[in-house]
């Protein structure tokens, strides 16, 4: 996973070096709105995109609570459900954006048994972990957004991403978490992978990283816009 860690670090650093562009902004105060971003390497990039998005807005603070090379498949490596309790105690947030699943392609382990992705056993084990995680977010009274996985270049990853997204979508509907679909925003009309597409300003540019899983800085900024739009919508409802 060293390559994934290096790729994520380089992309995050490049996001800081790129100007925020017109009409976008990031963190700052302790008295305004706090957005906590949780996830794996994709979540790490999402945080960087949101940081860049709110860079000039001193009323919004974006907090990173991501951990590369983690997921819900093998809790013995890093138990997200257990660690979320501590994260939420230490970070009183108004909004939470979650993006995770990049390491859960194969399946899930439970009590020394392995369940392949898509099997009934996997659906039960993995689904329970996702639902428990989402319920913890809701119990903390945080407006939560779960960003679905994007279309992947490799066929086996693409197939797994569809299965994972369906679990995320189902559990979000049950728990009241808002599911944000990302697939169509980075796919062609047939729903297949494409590396290039319009950025947030409508200009065609490279959006996906060379590994076919992660994003370029422009791609993460576009991904972050999906979350930003939902937050704006929620804020607008609160003001009415």
Q: How many domains does the chain have?
A: 1
- Cβ proximity of 62 and 37 under 8 Å: yes
Residue 26 sits in a domain whose CATH number is: 3.40.50.1110
Query: What is the spatial distance between Cα 145 and Cα 124, in angstroms, rounded to a whole number?
Result: 22
pLDDT, one tens digit per residue, over 63-122 is 999 999 999 999 999 999 999 999 999 999 999 999 999 999 999 999 999 999 999 999
pLDDT, one tens digit per residue, over 165-176 is 999 999 999 999
CA of residue 175 relative to chain centroid, distance: 17
Range of the domain at 33: 2-239
The percent of residues in the chain predicted with pLDDT above 70, rounded, is 86
Query: What is the spatial distance between Cα 26 and Cα 57, in angstroms, rounded to a whole number?
Result: 5
Please state the pTM of the whole predicted model: 0.87
């Amino acid at each position: 996973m060293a390559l994934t860690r290096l790729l994520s670090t380089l992309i995050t650093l490049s996001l800081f070096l790129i100007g925020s562009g017109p009409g976008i902004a990031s963190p700052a105060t302790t008295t305004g709105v706090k957005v906590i971003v949780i996830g794996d390497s994709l979540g790490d990039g999402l945080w960087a995109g949101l940081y860049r998005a709110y860079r000039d807005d001193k009323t919004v603070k974006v907090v990173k609570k991501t951990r590369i090379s983690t997921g819900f498949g093998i809790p013995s490596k890093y138990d997200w459900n257990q660690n979320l309790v501590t994260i939420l105690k230490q970070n009183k947030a108004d909004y939470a954006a979650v993006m995770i699943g990049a390491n859960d392609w194969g399946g899930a382990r439970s009590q020394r048994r392995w369940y392949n992705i898509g099997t009934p056993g996997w659906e039960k084990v993995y689904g329970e972990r996702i639902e428990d995680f989402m319920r913890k977010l809701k119990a903390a009274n945080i407006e939560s957004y779960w960003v679905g996985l994007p279309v992947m270049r490799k066929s086996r990853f693409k197939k797994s991403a569809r299965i994972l997204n369906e679990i995320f979508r189902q559990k979000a509907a049950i728990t009241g978490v808002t599911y944000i679909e990302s697939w169509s925003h980075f796919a062609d009309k047939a729903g297949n992978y494409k590396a290039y597409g319009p950025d947030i300003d409508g200009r065609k540019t490279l959006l996906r990283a060379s590994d076919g899983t992660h994003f370029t800085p422009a791609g993460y900024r576009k991904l972050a816009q999906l979350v930003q739009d939902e937050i704006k919508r929620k804020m607008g409802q609160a003001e009415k």
